[in-house]
Amino acid sequence: MTRENMYKTHNCGELRLSDAGKEVRLAGWVNSIRKLGGLNFVTLRDHFGMTQLLVKDESLLNGVNKECTITVEGKVLERESKNPKMATGDIEVEVSALKVLGKCQNVLPFEINDAPNTKEELRLKYRYLDLRNPATHELIVTRAKMLNFVRNKLTEMGFLEVQTPILTSSSPEGARDYIVPTINAPGEFYALPQAPQQFKQLLMVSGFDKYFQIAPCFRNEAARADRTPGEFYQVDMEMSFATQEDVFYNCEEFATSLFHEFTTKNVDTAPFIRIPYNEAIEKYCSDKPDLRNPLIVHDVTNIFKDTEFGAFQGKTIKAISAKCDDQPRRFYDDLGKLIVSYEGKGCAWVKYTQDGFTGGIAKFVTEQVGKDLIKEFDLKVGDSIFFIADEKDMAIKLTNVLRNELGEKLNLIDKDRIAFCWIVDFPFFEHNEETGNIDFAHNPFSMPQGGLDSLEHMDPYSIKAYQYDLVCNGYETLSGAVRNHDQDLMVKAFELAGYNEDTVKEKFGALYNAFSYGAPPHAGCAFGFDRLLMLVTGKDIIREVIAFPMNKNARDLMMGAPSFVSEQQLKDVGLMLRPKENK
C-alpha cells in the first residue's frame, strides 16, 4: 500500500528517460541556479540524488536562492545536452509551478559543494549544512548500511543481540569515567560504561551462548585522529564455552565478510597472520603494524657497541633499510625534521653505493661495522639505512614513526589491500612508572596463560595473557581476551595488582559473586565500529564518519556542550562546584 505525498511523486535520484512525458512533483534543496540566455536551470537535491529543473518563467524563482527548500510541478523532458555524470542526466523537468517551503539566508557559512575543504570547526558548528554535501551525506548512509549488515551477519552466525545498561557503576578499567549524579541518591553517582565488559560476562554466566551488541561506550579522554572523544560505538561480542581459537574463527568470518561487502579491495584471507606482542615490537616497533608496509626494523645496538659516534653511545639503536638510490638530500633532511617534531633527536642515515658507505654518518661506519650492516640487512647497492638512537621506549616510538613515513614516502604501501594480523601473547602485567607498582597491562578480566599456577609461581612481568588485538592496515580494530571465570584466580590476579579481596568484592561484586554459581569458560572481544567504518570508507579522521561528532577538544560546537548548569540543578543532586585554584 502506498500513500501519495503532497510534496513529491518521485525523488530527485530516480527519474530516467523512460519517464519522459510524465507530470511529476519533486521536493528538495536548491543546489545551484544558473541562467543561460532566457532560460533558468536549477539543480534540485534531496537524500537520493539530483535532478535538473528547467524554469522558463523567471517569476517562479522570486524568493528562491541556494539551499532553500522547494516543491515543484512539471513535465519530464529529454535533455538536449545530457550529463553522464548524473544518474538523472538524460532528463530534466520543465517547471510549471514552484513553491518555497523553507527559506534560506542569502549568505551561507560555507559553500555546500566545497564543505570538505572548509575549516573543521566551522563544519562542526553547522554540521546540518555540512551533511548536505553529497559525499559527506553518503558516509552516513554507508554507516546505516553497515549497522544493518553487522546485525544481520552476527545474527546469521548465531549471536543474540542483547542491550545492556547505560547507567551503571564506576570501575577501574583504564580511562576516566563519565560520572552521573542522581536526584534519588544525592552524593552517589552512576558511571557511563566504558564498555559492557561485566554485563556481557554476566550474560554468559546467565546461560546465553553467543551475545552481541552495537554498544555505546563512554570514555572521558582526549581525542585522536582515529579515536573520537567522549562516546563511540563498538561491536561487542562474547561466547560461552569458547577458546581463543573460537573467537578468531568467528571474527575472521565477520571481518572478511564485512570488507568484501563494503569495499572492492583485496582482503586478506583467513586464517590471519598471528604475531606475538614481543615480536611485533621487535620487528615493527608497534603492536599495531601495517603489514602493507614491507619494511622490517632491526636492532643494531650491538653492532655499534664500540662506536665513537656520541649520539649512539649508551643508546638503543633501531634501524631500517630501504631502496632510496634516487632520493634527493632533502628527503633525508625531512625525515630528520619529522623525528624531531616527535621529540626525537633526529634521524641518522647512510647510503650504500658501489664505493661503500657514503653520506650522513658514513665516517662512523668502520670496516667491521660496515661488514656487520651488510650482513644484517643483506644490503644492495642503492639501499639506505636510517637509524634512531634514544632511550629504549622512545627509540621504539620514533622508529614506528619512521617506518610509517618511509612506507608512505617511498610508495611501498599497497593501497588496494586490506591487511589483517592478530597480535597475541600480550604481557598480563606491566610496571607503572609513576607508582612503581604492578598494573594490568591490558584487560583485568583476562585469563593468564598458565592459570592460577602462573600467578602463584612466575615473575608477574613474565606472565602472558590470553589477550589479542586484531590489526587492520595499521589500526587496532578489535581487542579481546579469554576471560578469567574462576573466583580464586580473579582474587589472586587483582591481589598482584594491589587490590585486596574486599576491594574486588566492592568494585566487581556482581562478577565476583556470579563466579561462585557455575561460570562457563568464556571469551570475547569488541570491534571499534567507528574505526571499521573509517577503514571501509578510506577516511583518515574518524569524525568524518559520525553524524554529529565532537571536536578534538571533546566539545559539541553545534549544541554548545559541555555547558554550565543552573544552581538549582546542582542543588537537586546535592552538588556544589569548587572554584578553580589559582596556580
Cis peptide before 520 (omega within 30 of 0): no
Nearest CA to 425 out of 454, 456, 448, 392 is that of 448
pLDDT given at position 390: 97
DSSP secondary structure string, 95-119? EEEEEEEE---SS-SS-GGGGGGS-
DSSP classification of residue 558: T
Residue keyed to cell 625531512: 334
Q: What angle do CA 348, 349, 350 make, to 5 degrees?
A: 145
Compute φ and ψ for 255, nearest 5 degrees. Answer: -65, -45
- Is residue 522 within 8 A of residue 241, CB to CB? The reply is yes
Q: Say how many C-beta atoms besides its own lie within 10 A of residue 117's C-beta.
A: 9
Structure confidence at residue 443 (pLDDT): 82
Q: How many alpha carbons lie under 13 Å from residue 516 in its C-beta half-sphere?
A: 7
Amino acid 343 reads: E
Element (H, E) at 173: none
The closest alpha carbon to 159, from 51, 273, 242, 60, belongs to: 242
**pLDDT tens track of the chain, all 583 residues?**
678 899 999 999 999 999 999 999 999 999 999 998 889 999 999 999 999 999 999 999 999 999 999 999 999 999 999 999 999 999 999 999 999 999 999 999 999 999 999 999 999 999 999 999 999 999 999 999 999 999 999 999 999 999 999 999 887 656 789 999 999 988 899 999 999 999 999 999 999 999 999 999 999 887 666 677 889 999 999 999 999 999 999 999 999 999 999 999 999 999 999 999 999 999 999 999 999 999 999 999 999 999 999 999 999 999 999 999 889 999 999 999 999 999 999 999 999 999 999 999 999 999 999 999 999 999 999 999 999 999 999 999 999 999 999 999 999 999 999 999 999 999 999 988 888 889 998 888 899 999 999 999 999 999 999 999 999 999 999 999 999 999 999 999 999 988 889 988 888 888 999 999 999 999 999 999 999 999 999 999 999 999 999 998 889 999 999 999 999 999 889 898 888 776 5
pTM metric for this prediction: 0.92
Structure confidence at residue 579 (pLDDT): 83
Check residue 11 and give its pLDDT.
97
Please give the domain boundaries of the chain with CATH numbers for all domains. Answer: 17-102 (2.40.50.140), 137-273+420-426+465-485+520-567 (3.30.930.10), 293-413 (3.30.1360.30)
